[in-house]
């Protein structure tokens, strides 16, 4: 019985993870660092919806394991895929991916996790991701607007906003730049704040919940939570609801995932900055059509190897 169930699961996976309308279509391999990542799930759906009519595709999920991803990558290379979209587990690994792809004349599009190597020197590899500095600035603009309109409850009446930051994965360019730029911009905007803690929760809702528990002693003093993504913001929401039954501070996220936007509707999260999946997918499609079909969109700058897409503020 166990065997039959595993077999059914395997078949379902194979059907879900590849798509083909026509055998003559060019083949695209897609590598995703973790299939449990909420944002990447929505991103992958959007990429698939955009390419599936015109290209054959297969997806490999790495479960945050670089060795697994490398073997999936080699598999696509050996099977002569025409292009590989890489959401790298370890950004340091990207250099060896670029080298191997060039030896085999296969273009790469890195997405969301920026390669730490000389993409500009590569023949035909690209990066598509969010403009994370801009995201940090927009989060600071949200805080400025809240201060101006007295929307943050000053629990201890000191005129200073007691703040914590929930940070994504260390060394991920989005966690680092969003955090640094947010802090810098608050200073430039003359916002009086006190940073009580920066807590790393690796983009994950459950880990953010646990981090909030660790910060429990200071919870009564916190007036603002700024999170590097919506999922960690939701982890904070979960904890505050469990502890107090209500949320009496302001929370800001990033991404605009479906669950993040719902939380804004329900007044649990105050605002988010989008990590624009539609615009990023469009850029991926344009680069793909250019590399695999020679289609040129005169409005698109193919010289720019780092396509950084700006987000927008969403609030109620």
| Among 19-27, 37-45, 266-274, 292-300, the segment contacting ligand BGC (CB under 6 A) | 37-45
Q: Is 114 in the site for ligand BGC (CB under 6 A)?
A: no
Closer to ligand BGC by CB, 140 or 291: give it: 140
In DSSP terms, which residues pair with 287 in a beta bridge?
A: none
Sign of CA dihedral 181, 171, 95, 76: negative
Q: Is 113 in the site for ligand BGC (CB under 6 A)?
A: yes
Nearest to 113 by CA among 275, 272, 304: 275
| Among 32-40, 102-110, 158-166, 193-201, the segment contacting ligand BGC (CB under 6 A) | 32-40
Q: Which residues contact 22 (CB under 8 A, 6 or more apart)?
A: 56
Closer to ligand BGC by CB, 199 or 275: give it: 275
Among 28, 31, 37, 73, binds ligand BGC (CB under 6 A): 37
In whole angstroms, give the CA distance from residue 181 to residue 185: 6
Closer to ligand BGC by CB, 162 or 281: give it: 281
Provide the 8-state DSSP code for 32: E
Three-state SS at 282: helix
The CB-of-127 to ligand BGC minimum distance in angstroms stands at 12
The CB-of-257 to ligand BGC minimum distance in angstroms stands at 7
Q: What is the CA radius of gyration of the chain?
A: 21
In whole angstroms, give the CA distance from residue 222 to residue 200: 17
Site residues for ligand BGC, 145-174, by CB under 6 A, read: 172, 174
Site string for ligand BGC, 273-302 (x = CB under 6 A): --x---------------------------
Three-state SS at 226: strand
The CB-of-17 to ligand BGC minimum distance in angstroms stands at 19
Closer to ligand BGC by CB, 25 or 172: give it: 172
Q: Is 112 in the site for ligand BGC (CB under 6 A)?
A: yes
Q: Is 82 in the site for ligand BGC (CB under 6 A)?
A: no
The CB-of-42 to ligand BGC minimum distance in angstroms stands at 9
Q: Is 73 in the site for ligand BGC (CB under 6 A)?
A: no
Distances (CA, A) of 42 to 47, 65, 188, 193, 312: 9, 21, 34, 34, 18
Number of residues that bind ligand BGC (CB under 6 A): 14
Token pair for 130 = 């969010």
Nearest to 270 by CA among 146, 166, 137: 146
Token pair for 263 = 């939380």
Distances (CA, A) of 160 to 65, 184, 185, 223, 224: 42, 16, 16, 9, 11
The CB-of-201 to ligand BGC minimum distance in angstroms stands at 11
Residues that bind ligand BGC (CB under 6 A): 37, 39-40, 112-113, 130, 172, 174, 203, 229, 231, 254-255, 275
């Amino acid at each position: 019985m166990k065997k039959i169930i595993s077999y059914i699961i395997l078949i379902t996976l194979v059907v879900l993870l590849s798509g083909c309308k026509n055998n003559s279509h060019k083949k695209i391999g897609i590598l995703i660092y973790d299939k449990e990542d909420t944002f990447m799930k929505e991103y992958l759906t959007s990429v698939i919806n955009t390419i599936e009519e015109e290209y054959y595709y297969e997806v490999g999920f790495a479960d945050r394991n670089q060795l697994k991803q490398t073997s999936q990558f080699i598999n696509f290379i050996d099977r002569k895929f025409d292009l590989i979209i890489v959401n790298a587990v370890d950004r340091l690994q990207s250099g060896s991916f670029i080298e191997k792809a060039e030896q085999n004349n296969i273009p790469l599009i890195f997405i969301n996790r920026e390669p730490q190597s000389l993409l500009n020197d590569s023949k035909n590899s690209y990066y598509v991701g969010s403009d994370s500095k801009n995201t940090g600035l927009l989060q600071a603009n949200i805080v400025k607007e809240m201060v101006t309109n007295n929307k943050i409850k000053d629990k201890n009446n000191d005129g200073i906003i007691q703040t914590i930051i929930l940070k994504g994965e260390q060394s991920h360019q989005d966690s680092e730049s969003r955090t640094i730029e947010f802090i810098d911009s608050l200073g430039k905007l003359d916002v009086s704040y006190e940073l009580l803690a920066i807590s790393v929760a690796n983009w994950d809702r459950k880990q953010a919940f646990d981090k909030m528990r660790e910060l429990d002693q200071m919870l009564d003093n916190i007036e603002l939570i700024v999170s590097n993504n919506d999922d960690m913001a939701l982890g904070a929401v979960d904890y505050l609801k469990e502890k107090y039954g209500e949320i009496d501070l302001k929370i800001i996220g990033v991404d605009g995932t479906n669950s993040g936007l719902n939380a804004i509707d329900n007044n649990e999260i105050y605002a988010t900055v989008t990590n624009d999946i539609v615009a990023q997918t469009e850029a991926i499609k344009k680069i793909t059509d250019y590399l695999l079909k020679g289609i040129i969109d005169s409005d698109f700058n193919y010289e720019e190897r780092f396509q950084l897409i700006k987000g927008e503020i969403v609030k109620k």
